[in-house]
Amino acid sequence: MDTFYTRPMPKWLSDEALASDNKKYYVVQEADLHENDWLHLFTEMAFFSIARADSPPLEINKVVVETKEDYITEAREKLHAKNAIFYISYKYKGDPSIGFTGDHRAIIRKTTDGEPEHMSFEFASEQQAK
């Protein structure tokens, strides 16, 4: 596996980082959110890594995908890269008594080792200051 994906989990992306290298990042479009339900699953997995709630009502605000793979055709193909880092900002709109209502950010690293059906996920989550 490429060492890019084995280093410590990255920090949240700055706006400057996004503007500096548009081939490295893909800002997921609204249509892609609807066509790729697994992005909602990733968001739920990230939320469950910090909170225990049943069927959390989550609303995705923004998703950015970072990969090392260069795609010649469409940037949106980064969504289906074997190894990728997903930066997801989302809002929890559920029970305020559990203390997680509001905006959150998650970094999810998805890696594969080349073996069929072998996939690994790592999560880093934080609740944004109100």
Q: Which two tokens stand for residue 50?
A: 């910090």
- Give Cα separations from 65 to 27, 91, 108, 113 (angstroms): 6, 18, 10, 19
Q: What is the pLDDT of residue 54?
A: 67
Least confident residue range of 2-6, 38-42, 77-81: 2-6
Q: What tens digit of pLDDT does each residue of 69-87 get? A: 765 567 778 888 888 999 9
Is 6 within a domain? Answer: no
Is 58 within a domain? Answer: yes
Enclosing domain of residue 29: 16-127
Is 122 within a domain? Answer: yes
CA-CA distance, 97 to 83, in Å (whole number)? Answer: 37
The order of strands in the sheet holding 119-127 is 25-27, 58-66, 84-92, 102-112, 119-127
Is 107 within a domain? Answer: yes
Is 10 within a domain? Answer: no
Is 8 within a domain? Answer: no
CA-CA distance, 31 to 53, in Å (whole number)? Answer: 28
Q: Check if the beta carbon of residue 108 is closer than 8 Å to that of residue 85.
A: yes
